[in-house]
Amino acid sequence: MRLVALLLSLLLLALAGWIGFGLWQRMATPAPAPRSLAALLPDATPDTGGTRGPVRHWPPLFGEPQPPAPPVQVEPQPPAPPMPPIESLGYRLKGVVRNGKADWAIVTHPTGDLLLKVGDTLSDGITVDAIDAEGLWVSNGKTRTVLGFESQSQ
């Protein structure tokens, strides 16, 4: 083990000496004289309006400028039909479940019962807006209506 440590130490010492010698040689050689821009140009005479060499035409970074597009004419749309009464779609409110901040509504439909919370979709384009003591508030984006509890008359 000591032999391996001795050989590794000698190898690393030799490597450090070799790198140090290369550094010493680089430091000993003088740096090349700095070149000026005028020395690189073909003629060092001042510019008198002529061009020196070919002019480069770089492609535009953000594309070619385009003329403004004509304004888009929006055809008037007929007004949206009013939302049908939610009861006519077959939905009935069975109950409301409250748990602190969370409210759920139990809604029955011929296809089955649903458990809904605020933000759920009841059917195509009809979403649940709120659940309170009056019932389940739904909207289609324009019209807001309530699906209330069925009145029990005896």
pLDDT of 44 above 60: no
What integer is the mean pLDDT of 43-66?
A: 70
Q: What is the CATH number of the domain that holds 108?
A: 2.30.30
Q: Please give the C-alpha separations between residue 59 and each of 51, 54, 63, 64, in angstroms, as whole numbers.
A: 20, 16, 8, 8
Residue with structure tokens 């535009």? 60
Per-residue pLDDT reduced to its tens digit, 118-138: 989 888 778 899 888 888 888
Q: State which residues form the domain around 119.
A: 86-148
* Nearest-angstrom CA–CA distance, 112 and 37: 84
Grade residue 151 by pLDDT with cuts at 50, 70 and 90: low
Alpha carbon 121 to chain centroid, angstroms: 26
For position 49, what pLDDT does the model report?
56
Per-residue pLDDT reduced to its tens digit, 58-115: 888 888 888 998 998 888 988 877 777 778 888 888 888 888 888 899 998 888 898 9
For position 153, what pLDDT does the model report?
43
Does the pTM exceed 0.75? no
For position 41, what pLDDT does the model report?
66
Residue 28 lies in a domain: no
For position 55, what pLDDT does the model report?
75
- Residue predicted with more confidence, 74 or 49: 74
Q: Measuring CA to CA, which residue among 52, 73, 71, 150 is closest to residue 106?
A: 150
Residue 96 burial (10 A CB sphere; 0-12, 13-18, 19+): middle
Grade residue 154 by pLDDT with cuts at 50, 70 and 90: very low
Q: How many domains does the chain fold into?
A: 1
Phi/psi region, residue 146 (left: phi>0; alpha: psi -120 to 50; beta: rest), is: beta
Tokens of 144: 């807001």
pLDDT of 6 above 90: yes
Distant-in-sequence, close-in-space partners of 42: CB < 8 Å, separation ≥ 6? 52, 53
Residue 13 lies in a domain: no
- Residue predicted with more confidence, 3 or 154: 3
